[in-house]
Amino acid sequence: MQQMGLYEQFPSDTPILVEFKKYLVEHLEVPNCQQEVDNVSRMLRYMQPTGDLVNMDFLKKSMETKDYIVSLKRAKLLPATILNYIKNMIRFVQFLLTRDVDDQDFHIGCQAYITLLNTLRKPVSKAHSKVTSMTVCVEGQKTISECQRLLRNAKKDMLGIFGNLQEEKIVSAEEKTLFRYYCEAILILGHFQRPGAVEGMTVPG
């Protein structure tokens, strides 16, 4: 990212960024917000390479905004990280809307820029969902034997609930629900039935 000029920032004492940080801490109660301010600062600097003060003309720089997001992808940043950049910039523009409440043209420009950012966010969100799904499939999916072990561990508690049901003792709605899920899990994981096999089944009372 550094070689591509994506790490360049405005000075940390830039008034609008100092004000934004104060807004995050005091109004939105975001205590650890420096990363968010830095992300916004980098994105603004990319669109405005020179000068120490942020120029609101960035709201009209749709091409530069798109280029920055594309550059983040080329820098091999994860979709989740790119999403943070976009979300942080949306929040920055929303903050700007709280400052100049009487400038109608400025409001229109801010809303148009937020719409642009939301449009750019959609494909990144889709890519993030795909990465998350792949991670779950590769790393997070439990084996059948692991699931069956969970059933064995829960067996004692479930037999207790079953005994109370048989003796018509008071059983809470939560316990009934847990017992139902346990029975469904036995069918699916214990007897290798398809999930559809449990559809339409009911638990008395």
Pick the residue with more confidence: 182 or 9? Answer: 9
Pick the residue with more confidence: 63 or 148? Answer: 63
Condensed to tens digits (0 to 9), the pLDDT of residues 140-199 reads: 555 667 677 777 888 888 888 888 888 888 878 888 888 888 888 777 765 554 445 444
**What does the pLDDT read at residue 197?**
46
Is the pLDDT assigned to residue 53 strictly greater than 90?
A: yes
CB atoms within 10 A of CB 66: 13
Cα 22 to Cα 15, 41, 81, 98, 136, distances in angstroms: 11, 15, 23, 13, 38
Q: Provide the residue ranges of all domains of the chain, joining segments of one domain with +.
A: 15-140, 144-198
Please spell the DSSP secondary structure of 36-63, one letter per residue: HHHHHHHHHHHH--S-SS--GGGGG-HH
Identity of the highest mean pLDDT range in 39-53, 124-138, 160-174: 39-53
CB atoms within 10 A of CB 150: 13
Contact status, residue 88 vs residue 69, Cβ threshold 8 Å: no
**With bands split at pLDDT 50, 70 and 90, how would you rate the model's confidence at 57?**
very high
Axis-axis angle for helices 79-97, 34-47 (nearest 10)? 80
Q: What are 7's two structure tokens?
A: 């790490």
Contact status, residue 107 vs residue 97, Cβ threshold 8 Å: yes
Is the pLDDT assigned to residue 135 strictly greater than 80?
A: no
Determine the number of helices (DSSP H) and then strands (DSSP E) in the chain: 7, 0
**With bands split at pLDDT 50, 70 and 90, how would you rate the model's confidence at 88?**
very high
CA-CA distance, 97 to 8, in Å (whole number)?
25
- The amino acid sitting at 192 is F
